[in-house]
Amino acid sequence: MKRIAFISLFALFLLTPVYSQEVPKEKEKTWNDLIQQANTLSQQNKPQEAVDMAKDALKKAEEIFGANTREVAFSLSTLAYLYYSQGKYGEAEPLCEKSLEIEEQILGPSHLDVAAALSNLAEVYASEKKYKDAESLYKRALTIIENKLGPDHAYAGMILEKLSKLYNES
């Protein structure tokens, strides 16, 4: 159940094209291929191989696009998701934090992709029983989503559901 919740918010993360700068298509494709391979390995239930591939994708993103770019943020989120799905919340947390930091720096505090990053980090915090931290991030994400998409949007409902679950657990 947690895996579905976490990955569904990656859909939000993908609302905006990731590429932050012009790079040769073959380099862009190399990074993209590594991300795709990591996801495929995860779906094939090969968690360590998926993590290794995601680490390679992160290195490649830093090499090709630079350290604080959307591609690096996306790579960090991918790696965080893989750790999260294995129950390695302590390893996922700093990756989600860094991804959020990069997204906020590039997009500003009220972008939908920032809302996705907030929600992903909140999901990790909730799994670590850091309920107050998770609540704060979910509320920030909800505010962004309601302001951008309206209070009746499905994404707002997802966050409200997560908040309800959080209140029941704490």
pLDDT tens readout for residues 103-127: 999 999 999 999 999 999 999 999 9
Query: Which tokens belong to 143?
Result: 């505010």
Class of residue 151 by CB neighbours under 10 A (exposed 0-12, middle 13-18, buried 19+):
exposed
* Structure confidence at residue 126 (pLDDT): 96
> Global pTM?
0.86
Domain of 70, in residue numbers = 2-169
pLDDT tier at 22, thresholds 50, 70, 90: low
CA distance 142 to 76: 22
Q: Which helix (H) or strand (E) holds 96?
A: helix 89-107
> Residue 34: which CATH number?
1.25.40.10
Average pLDDT, the chain: 88
Total domain count, the chain: 1
